[in-house]
Structures are given as C-alpha cells and as structure tokens.
Amino acid sequence: MTDKPLAIIIEDDQDLCEIFTQALQAANFATETIRDGKTAFQRIAEEPVPHTIILDLHLPHVDGTQILKQIKSDARTSNVRVVITTADTVSAELLRDEADFVLVKPISFAQLRDLAARLHPSRKTGPLGPLRTG
C-alpha cells in the first residue's frame, strides 16, 4: 500500500484510459482503471474507497449516470470526488450540479493533470473554488 491517494478511472476507451492514468499519476495519484460499467458498479461497493473517481458517461453495460447516482447515494462513497468525462455537452449540462466536476471531451492531458493536482488532498488551500471547464 502506498500513501498516495487512490483515483479510479472508469473509461471504456483504452487510449483515453492510458492518458488519464498518466495525468493522474503526474498529479501524484495512485490509479486503478476499469473499462466497463458492470465492473465499475461492483468495484465501488468494495474497499478501498478511492479519493477520486474519473467517470465516463458512455460505458458498456451500465450507464455512467447510474454509477454516479450510486456513488452519491452511498454514505461510504458520497464524499468521493467525482469528475465526469463526456463528449456529450448536453449530458454535461444536465450534470453541472450533480458531479463535482464535468470535463467535456476533448480533455487535454494538462487539463486533467492540473485539475487532479487541485483535488489532491496534500493541497491545503481551503475549499475548491469554481473551476470552469469544458
């Protein structure tokens, strides 16, 4: 076990998975990747509870919005920072209030790395201000 905070990346596209992993690792997170909705659904019920989840909305089997609902409704995981990634600006619009952050694809490496750095628990600059994305 490392003392780095854990980020789970839920994303079906392999290349994007790789990029997100690189970005989060660059921001000093430990990472775990999941490629489909069903596995993601099972994983969030298990330990360890991650610090941050990067969640794609378009996933095989189980839709990302359902996973978001599950995370936010379970007391265990309700404090987990959720960053939604989507190419659909309408979904992004709808989730503007529900998720902690919504990143509209295309997402650049630097953008995610910088956001992750701001989310990192070692950063003690008080509550996070609004961050314009998309």
Partner 1 sequence: MNMCHRFRPFLNKLLDVPVTDPDDSRRRKLLNVILAGLFVILVAAFLATIGQIASGDATQENISLSWKLLAVIAGTYVTYYINRNISGFIASTVFLFFLLVVISISDTPKELIDGRSLLYFTIPVAMASMLIRPYFSFVFALLSTINLFILGYISGLAPNILAMFGYFLLALVSWLSSRSLEQALQELRVLNRDLDHRVEVRTRELSEALTRELIEAGKTQAILQGIADGVLVFDQTNKIIVANPSMGSLTGIRPNKLIGLDIPTFCQEEGIVPADRPRLQALLEKPSPNAQAVRVRWNKKTLSVNAAPVVSGLGETFGSVAVFRDFTREAEIEQMKNNFVAMVSHELRTPLNAVLAYAEMLRDAIFGPLNTKQFDAANRIYVNSQRLLNIISDLLDQAQIEAGRLKIQLAETPTIELLENLRSTMEKPAQDKGLQLITEIAPNVPQTITCDSHRIQQILVNLVNNAIKFTPQGHVAVHIFLADAHTWALAVSDTGPGIPPDDQAYVFEPFWQVESITTREHGGIGLGLSIVKRLAMLMGGDIKLESTVGKGSTFTVTLPLQPVLQKEESK
Contacts to partner 1 by CB under 8 A: 13, 15-16, 19, 22, 26, 58, 87-90, 93, 96, 105-110, 132, 134
**d(Cα 22, Cα 9) in Å, to the nearest integer?**
11
- Which residues, 6 or more positions from 114, have their beta carbon under 8 angstroms from its beta carbon? 27
Closer residue to partner 1, CB minimum distance, 61 or 76: 61
Closer residue to partner 1, CB minimum distance, 35 or 134: 134
CA gyration radius, the chain: 13
CB of 107 to partner 1, least distance (A): 6
Closer residue to partner 1, CB minimum distance, 80 or 84: 84
Q: What angle do CA 86, 26, 6 make, to 5 degrees?
A: 70
Closer residue to partner 1, CB minimum distance, 13 or 36: 13
CB of 49 to partner 1, least distance (A): 28
Nearest CA to 84 out of 114, 60, 59, 54 is that of 54
CB of 119 to partner 1, least distance (A): 19
Q: What is the dihedral of CA 43, 133, 100, 14, to 10 degrees?
A: 0
CB of 51 to partner 1, least distance (A): 22
